[in-house]
Structure 1
Amino acid sequence: MTKNYYEAIKERRSVYNLTREATIPEERIREIVEYSLDHTPSAFNSQTGRVVMLFGKDHDDFWEMTKSSLKAIQPEERHKDTEEKLEGFRNSYGTALFFEDYDTIESLQSKFEAVKDNFPLWSYQSSGMLQYNVWTSLSAEGMGASLQHYIDPVEEEIKSKWNLPGKWKLMAQMPFGKPASPAGDKEIMEASSKLKVFGIN
Structure 2
Amino acid sequence: MSNLQNLQTLAEARRSIYALNNQLPVDKDQVVALVEHAILHTPSSFNSQSTRLVVLFEEDHKKLWQITEDTLRKIVNDDEKFKSTEQKLNGFKAGAGTVLFFEDQNVVKNLQENFALYADRFPVWSEHTSAMHQYVIWTALASLDIGANLQHYNPVIDEEVAKTWNIDSNWKLTAQMVFGGIEQKAGDKEFAPIDSRLKVYGK
TM-score by length of 2: 0.95
Determine which of 155, 172, 176 is the counterpart of 1:173.
176
CA–CA distance in structure 2, aligned partners of residues 186 and 84 of structure 1: 23
Q: Secondary structure at the match of 2:178?
A: strand
The residue matched to 2:176 in structure 1 has which SS? strand
1:120-140 CA distance string (max 9 Å, x none)? 010001111100000000001
After TM superposition, give the deviation of residue 75 of structure 1 in Å: 4.4
Instruction: Find the aligned partners of 1:191 and 1:33 in 2 and give their Cα distance.
Output: 32
Task: Give the distance between the partners of 1:198 and 1:78, measured in 2 at CA.
Answer: 51
Q: Which moved more, 1:76-85 or 1:44-53?
A: 76-85
Alpha-carbon separation, structure 2, partners of 1:10 and 1:21: 23
2:167 aligned partner = 164
Q: Deviations over 1:93-125 (max 9, x none)?
A: 001000000011101111111111110010001
Question: Following the alignment from structure 1 to structure 2, what is the Cα–Cα distance between the partners of residues 60 and 182?
Answer: 22
Identical aligned residues as a percent: 42
In 1, Cα distance between equivalents of 2:62 and 2:196: 43
Task: Tell me the residue number matched to 1:122.
Answer: 125
CA displacement 1:162-199 (0-9 Å, x = unmatched):
11100100001011001101100001122111111011
Q: Which amino acid aligns with 2:92?
A: F
**In structure 2, the residue corresponding to 1:54 is in which secondary structure?**
strand
Paired amino acid for 2:104: D
What RMSD in Å do the two structures reach over aligned CA positions?
1.0
Tell me which stretches of 4 or more aligned residues in structure 1 moved more than 2 Å.
none
Q: Which runs of 5+ in 1 are unaligned?
A: none
Aligned length: 198
Alignment of 1:1-201 (within 5 A): 4-76=6-78, 77-200=80-203
Which amino acid in 1 is paired with 2:98? T
- Separation in structure 2 between the aligned mates of residue 7 and residue 75 of structure 1, nearest angstrom: 44
Q: CA deviation at 1:78?
A: 2.4
The Cα offsets for residues 43-99 of structure 1, whole Å up to 9 and x where unpaired, read as: 110100111000111111110000000000014132111011001100100010000
Distance (Å, rounded) in 1 between the aligned partners of 2:102 and 2:81? 28
The whole-number CA distance in structure 2 between the counterparts of 1:175 and 1:199 is: 42
Q: Secondary structure at the match of 2:201?
A: coil
Give the aligned residue type for 2:168. P
| SS of match in other structure, 1:117 | coil
Which amino acid is the alignment partner of residue 7 of structure 1? Answer: T
